Amino acid sequence: MSAVTSDSPSFGRRLAGFGRTLISPRGAVFLLLIVLLVAITVLNPSFAEPGQFIRFVQRVAPVAIVAIGQYFVIVGGEFDLSMGSVVTAQVVIAGNLIGQDESKSIPVLLFMLAFGAFIGLVNGLIVTLLKVPSFIVTLGMMLALLGATLYWTGGAATGNPADGFRQIGRGGIRDIPVIEILPWSVVILVVILLVAIWFARRPFGRTIIALGDNPTAASYSGARSWWVKTSTFIISSLSATVAGVLLVGYAGVHPSVGRGYEFTAITAVVLGGVVLGGGRGWVVAAAAGAFALEALFTLLNFAGVPSTYRDAVQGFIIILAVAYAATTFRARRRGSALETSAGAQAEPKEPDAAAASARPAPIPSTQRADNETKGGS
């Protein structure tokens, strides 16, 4: 009897449940994003025009893609600090190898993807086989790759490559009703996001999350942890490569393109509620974190906040967002941590099947209520 009634909760209940999800740490980033977008639109109403908005999405695309890649690494319990250098290296490779010869676009693109996968493979193998902390490996890779790139080009790339290649980042499908142009970047972003969501639900994706949550249990359950971890690094380097391809179009070729991307990616992922140390998080939230971060920067641009204050505001928002997630989430979990582990999700079950299906099933993890944010208190 109760099963029948629980099949169709009232609309009000679903709305309340949705609202609660929105202010929970899982949904907090979406709330933040909505608030920021509304604020931008208030300051500059033309922002809400479809044409303008789609351009906003176009310029967030590289950051969001990089955030998605970093998501897999962080949820697996590691860091990837080399992403910025990978972006720079790929951008410079594209500029130097393609030159003005459009026919080279496809071969060079394939080479870039192979190179990106190679870098990820090297990172992953050193982390898993040589047991060096990922922070250190990717730090070393960041320095070495950037140095090697600058050495190869003598510090400045030859220039922007052929327009055909740049169209990927700069152009799009024109003459579409309402939005005028659908940039290729947006298309690529949507495709990658869908692939990421699908991937996270696959057994391999879930193994990544399991590995981040509890490596011992994961390896006991038969996962080849070295391969799973290495693949997360390959994913993140590939995502940096794709971002590089988009940036070649958007920004052009310059050695300072991509600098600091790793910190932006980590910030976006953390804003999205993914816990540093692994095991928890939703990939869409990570992408939403990237959007929220860019929306914040855009808001500061529109609000006319002097350039020099921006960093302070950014730092403050980051701390606030993560503190919010940590304190409220912990508050909830603390109450139920002493009860059954399976019922530890004190938050209401997600009302929509669609929303729930993308998230991993609640993993009956060990009672690490206090130890969630590894490396913190």
Partner 1 sequence: MSTATTTSAPPRRPRRRRLDASLIVGIALVGVIVIGAILVATVGRNFFSAGNIRDILTGMSVLGFVAIGQTFVILCASLDLSVPYVVSLSSLIAADLMAGNPANIPVAVLAVLVVAALIGLANGLIVTKLRVNGFIATLGTGLIIKGYLDTNYKGTSGEVPWEFQLIGATGVGPVPVSTLIMLAVAVAGAFFLARTRTGNHMFAVGGNEQVARLSGIRTARPLIIAHMLCSITAALAGLLLASRLGVGSPTVGTQGGYDLLSIAAVVLGGTLLLGGRGSIWGTIGGVAIFAVVDNVMSVMQVNPFLKDVVRGIVIVAAVAVYTARVVERRRPRFTGSGSDRAPESVEGGGGIAGGGTGAGNAGIGTPGVERRQEEQA
Partner 2 sequence: MRRRFTVASAMVGALALMTMAGCTTDPNVGSPTDASAPAAEEEEVEWFDQELFDKQDAERGVTPEGPEGQPWLQHINAEMVDTSQYASAGAKKACFANASISNPWRQTGWITMNQQLQVLQEAGAISEMETRDAQDSDDTQIADIDYFINEGNCDVFIISPNSTAAMTPAVERACDTGKPVVVFDRGVQTDCPVTFIHPIGGFAWGIDTAEFLIDNLDEGSKVVALRILPGVDVLEQRWAAAEKLFDEAGIEAVDYFTGADPTEIKKIISDELAKGDVHGVWMDAGDGAVAAIEAFEDAGVDYPVMTGEDEMSFLRKWEETGLTGLAPVYSNFQWRTPLLAAQMIFAGQEIPKEWVLPQSPITEDERAEFLAANEGMPDGHYAKFGGEDLPGYPQVWQDRVIP
For binding to partner 1 (CB under 8 A), which residues are involved?
Answer: 77-78, 81, 126-128, 130-137, 139-148, 150-151, 155, 215-216, 219-220, 225-226, 229, 263, 266-267, 270, 276-278, 306-316, 318-319, 322-323, 326-327, 330, 368, 370-371, 373-377
Nearest distance, CB of residue 208 and partner 2, angstroms: 29
CA 127 – CA 274 distance, rounded (Å): 21
Question: Which of these, 221, 204, 206, 189, lies nearest to 359 by C-alpha position?
Answer: 206
Nearest distance, CB of residue 177 and partner 2, angstroms: 18
CB 185 within 8 Å of CB 118: no
Complex with partner 1: residue 242 or 270, whichever CB lies closer: 270
- Show the DSSP H helices in the chain as ranges: 2-7, 11-23, 25-43, 50-75, 83-98, 105-129, 134-153, 163-170, 184-201, 203-213, 215-220, 225-250, 261-271, 283-303, 307-337, 353-357
Which of partner 1, partner 2, none has residue 130 at its interface (CB below 5 to 8 Å by kind)?
partner 1
**Applying CB under 8 A, does 377 fall inside the site for partner 2?**
no
Strand partners, 176: 180
Nearest distance, CB of residue 372 and partner 1, angstroms: 8
Question: Which of these, 285, 251, 280, 249, lies nearest to 269 by C-alpha position?
Answer: 285
Buried b (16+ CB within 10 A) or exposed e, 323-356: ebbbeebbebbeeeeeeeeeebeebeebbeeeee
**Applying CB under 8 A, does 251 fall inside the site for partner 2?**
yes
- Which residues, including other chains, have CB under 8 Å from residue 136's CB and lie 6 or more apart? none
Nearest distance, CB of residue 158 and partner 2, angstroms: 5
Q: In which residue are the tokens 């290296």 written?
A: 89
Q: What is the DSSP string of 101-128?
A: -GGGHHHHHHHHHHHHHHHHHHHHHHHH
Only segment of 73-81, 138-146, 202-210, 307-315 that touches partner 2 (CB under 8 A): 307-315
Residue choice 30, 184, 250, 282 for contact with partner 2 (CB under 8 A)? 250
Which of partner 2, partner 1, none has residue 55 at its interface (CB below 5 to 8 Å by kind)?
partner 2
- Which residues, including other chains, have CB under 8 Å from residue 194's CB and lie 6 or more apart? none
Q: Tokens at residue 145, please? A: 């790759």
Complex with partner 1: residue 194 or 331, whichever CB lies closer: 331
Only segment of 113-121, 189-197, 302-310, 354-362 that touches partner 2 (CB under 8 A): 302-310
**Applying CB under 8 A, does 154 fall inside the site for partner 2?**
yes
Complex with partner 2: residue 222 or 304, whichever CB lies closer: 304
Nearest distance, CB of residue 356 and partner 1, angstroms: 26
**Applying CB under 8 A, does 55 fall inside the site for partner 2?**
yes
CA 316 – CA 212 distance, rounded (Å): 28
Complex with partner 1: residue 53 or 297, whichever CB lies closer: 297
CA 369 – CA 362 distance, rounded (Å): 14
Cβ burial of 33 (10 Å; 0-12, 13-18, 19+) is buried
Only segment of 11-19, 203-211, 294-302, 364-372 that touches partner 2 (CB under 8 A): 294-302
**Applying CB under 8 A, does 93 fall inside the site for partner 2?**
no
**Applying CB under 8 A, does 282 fall inside the site for partner 2?**
no
Q: Could you list the residues that contact partner 2 (CB under 8 A)? A: 44, 46-47, 52, 55, 59, 62, 151, 153-160, 170, 247, 250-252, 254, 256-257, 259, 297-298, 301-302, 304, 307-309, 312, 316, 319-320, 323-324, 327-328, 330-332, 334-335
